[in-house]
Amino acid sequence: MVQLSRGLLRLGAGILQGCDPAEAQIERDASGRPVLTAVSRSDSDLNTSHRDGAVAIVLSRGGECGIDIESLSGHKAEEVIESLISHGVIEDQQCPLESALTQWAGYEACLKADGRGLRDGLGCVLPGPVGPIECPTLWGCDGKTWQIQAIPVPVGLVGVVACAQGVRVVSVPCLGAGASIG
């Protein structure tokens, strides 16, 4: 899975940098997030997420982006639901796991788009209206605005992409286990 994730990352970097994927220039920031060299995140960005045999990548032109996928099986549902309740995202323990995990993925995608991770806590994120995020909705994070939207993913997963307002998302593929990129 790590090899597939690295391959997608290199392919995406090649697309955004206009070069052969083998020649794409990628570095890691202090948080381990992939960043393109010689290209500003405000010009082009990419982000990946992998979980339980699936990998997703988002490529954007014109601004920052983030993506998160979560598995519906074997997940620490109680921990996610408690965290979302404490931050006022969902109201009670009866929230369906799929809905709770989609909200959780929204938080992670937003934080990734902002160039940070969960270590900074969910409190930085100001979510839009509580409820489904199938249609684009605006969330905030420390004074910035992010467009958040659930994405199609394989059965058993949920996924959300976040990008700066007005950004054109180039691609959001999600590949399951056993997939290859060539």
User: Which tens digit of pLDDT belongs to each residue from 93-150?
Assistant: 777 788 888 888 888 898 888 887 666 667 777 776 655 566 677 777 777 888 888 8
Residue 181: inside a domain, yes or no?
no
CB 159 within 8 A of CB 148: no
Residue 182: inside a domain, yes or no?
no
CB 5 within 8 A of CB 180: no
pLDDT for 181 equals 40
Residue 83: inside a domain, yes or no?
yes
pLDDT for 16 equals 82
Residue 177 pLDDT > 60? no
Residue 169 pLDDT > 80? no
Beta strands in 62-167 (DSSP E): 65-71, 125-126, 137-141, 144-150, 157-164
Strand, helix or coil for residue 177: coil
pLDDT for 36 equals 81
Average confidence (pLDDT) over 35-58: 82
Residue 87: inside a domain, yes or no?
yes
Q: What is the dihedral of CA 118, 120, 123, 128, to 10 degrees?
A: -60
Both ends of the chain: CA-CA distance in Å? 14
Residue 109: inside a domain, yes or no?
yes
CB 145 within 8 A of CB 137: no
pTM: 0.80
Residue 180: inside a domain, yes or no?
no
**Angle, in degrees to the nearest 10, between helices 97-113 and 77-86:** 70
Residue 128: inside a domain, yes or no?
yes
Residue 56: inside a domain, yes or no?
yes
Domain that holds residue 98: 2-175
Q: What is the pLDDT of residues 7-32, one digit of tens each?
A: 778 888 888 888 888 888 888 877 77
From CA 148, how far away is CA 128, in angstroms rounded?
9
From CA 96, how far away is CA 160, in angstroms rounded?
17
How many structural domains are present in the chain?
A: 1
